[in-house]
Structure 1
Amino acid sequence: SLHQLSGGSWEHTDLPPFRNPHHSASGVSIIGGGQYPRPGEVSLAHRGVLFLDEIAEFTKKTLDMLRQPLESGKVSISRTQATVTYPASFILIGAMNPCPCGYSGSNTHYCTCTLKQIIAYQNKLSGPLRDRFDINLSLGPVDLKSVSTRKEESSSSIRQRVDEARKKQYERYGSEIGNSRVSYDTLLKTSPLTAEQQRTLQQFSYKKNWSNRTQIKIIRLARTISDIQGSTGISDQSIWEAVKLNSLAERKDVRGAKMKWN
């Protein structure tokens, strides 16, 4: 197995893998490699989740190396003798502070960072890597005293809706492949956009200066939202939600300068 090739221990489990390497981890340990090529964290997270906490603290070189496996679902390591390819199809989740001190936008703490420091911190994630994130969320501080005590939807019911949505995708594409991996041509052939939806996306694309990759991700995300909602086609509401979830949230720091971050 991949774990045996990496030289690490592994306990048999039916749960998908969850890997959360420390931000001091080297590029080789994340991507894989070495004198005798071993699989890295991206391969050990195959068919599971790779969680990068404090993602902005990883080296820029290491983060940019994630672009190829995120796109292709595999990692190729070339050496003089041969080239080794390991599977690396995973869900990437990254978390970062809004600024180096962590208090930009806070209502209870003063941010000590300059605008230049905040921008430099945000730019540690390159544009091409940001393009590969489907969902961008900005989370504010939570006051536990004011949290609503109403009963929320349980994890089991959410899992049931997700399972049903996946079954719809498997039936639609005729194999165990989801909206995120199916070819763009197949996606549009099975779920064509209306003329009005196409105009809406074009307007957003022009206004927000989206790349082609971002536009495609919006459509994939809208298709998934529609599946979860039980809609046969891509609904107008799902497109609006996809745009909102994909766009970087706009916030203001304590000095009044408008900032954007994940």
Structure 2
Amino acid sequence: YHLAREKKGMSLRPPYRQPHHLASAISLIGGGTYPKPGEISLAHRGVLFLDELGEFSRKTLDMLRQPMESGEVTISRVKQTVTYPSSFTLIAATNPCPCGYYGSRERYCTCTPRQVTDYQLKVSGPILDRLDFVLSLKSSGLQEKAASETSAEIRHRIGCVRSLQHERYGSHSLNATVSYQQLERTAGFSEVQLQRIGIVCFEQKWSNRTQVKLLRLARTIADLQGSETMTDSAIQEAIEWRKLPNVLQGGEHLGPT
């Protein structure tokens, strides 16, 4: 924050950044004549929330690809080259079209098919490939039943699962950050389960990156189920989550990593 010339006190809470969709590529990624950190570095070890993802320019969003992969961003200028950390959890939300009603059963969409396609293509395939899952939401009324689990209960459950993963890997690593070799060695996948995931990825034409994400996601689901071994139901649920990006219809879409 000092390098970015922001006044912010010390805090034990992870950072949370929510840049506007009109933010420039430099403010998001970092840079300038005298390079300074951007939003992705200010969100290091925290959350970067991109609301109205479809309103960001495609060029700006594509610049997230390398930082999301490596956890750092390198900015090169004539006088100097600097590298800033940028390991963040990305959460994004967007409407399915410019008017927001594509696929809705309650309102009529006024967008042309070309407008819908162009809007959804703002998020390129490589960016979608780096998301753990995409969730399609539908509108709900205020009278509908609230979630039965409170935020405090969810936080406690997540904390228990994180402790379990720290113990499994013998370090501060989690399913999302541990090396693939160690994940495969300790996660408890059987040969039959690994073959099943390989076949599904081949049939769906998913990349090797997606296959590794499936393993990480399935192991996390099994942990949340309280299972020490890898379950077939956890693998099936992970596969269903990965299929969702191909079903862009109605509601907003969320994609954390």
Pairwise TM-score range, normalised by the shorter structure: over 0.9
Give the letter aligned to residue 104 of structure 1: Y
Q: Within 5 Å, which residues of 2 pair with 1:104-253?
A: 104-145=102-143, 147-148=144-145, 152-248=148-244, 250=247
Cα displacement (A) at 1:234:
2.0
The separation in 2 between residues aligned to 1:89 and 1:252, in whole angstroms, is 30
Corresponding residue to 1:90 among 85, 88, 91: 88
The separation in 1 between residues aligned to 2:123 and 2:228, in whole angstroms, is 36
The separation in 1 between residues aligned to 2:125 and 2:40, in whole angstroms, is 20
Structure 2 equivalent of residue 51 of structure 1: 49
For each residue in 1:203-261, what CA deviation from the matched residue of structure 2 results, as whole angstroms up to 9, or x when unmatched? 321222111111111110111111122211221111111112222253667xxxxxxx7
Partner-residue secondary structure (3-state), 1:46? coil
**1:127–1:252: structure 2 CA closer, same or farther, 3 Å change rule?**
closer
Give the letter aligned to residue 191 of structure 2: A
The separation in 2 between residues aligned to 1:164 and 1:198, in whole angstroms, is 27
Partner-residue secondary structure (3-state), 1:4? coil
- Is the contact between residue 96 and residue 248 of structure 2 (CA under 8 Å) also seen in structure 1? no
Structure 2 equivalent of residue 31 of structure 1: 29
Structure 1 vs Structure 2: percent identity of aligned residues? 51
Give the letter aligned to residue 192 of structure 2: E
- Provide the aligned C-alpha RMSD in A: 1.8
Cα displacement (A) at 1:79:
2.0
The separation in 2 between residues aligned to 1:252 and 1:227, in whole angstroms, is 30
Consecutive unaligned residues in structure 1, runs of 5 or more: 254-260
The separation in 2 between residues aligned to 1:103 and 1:169, in whole angstroms, is 41
Cα displacement (A) at 1:120:
1.4
The separation in 2 between residues aligned to 1:167 and 1:44, in whole angstroms, is 26
For each residue in 1:157-213, what CA deviation from the matched residue of structure 2 results, as whole angstroms up to 9, or x when unmatched? 111111111111111222111111111111101124213212321232122211111
Cα displacement (A) at 1:143:
2.1
**1:251–1:135: structure 2 CA closer, same or farther, 3 Å change rule?**
closer
TM-score, length-scaled by structure 1: 0.91
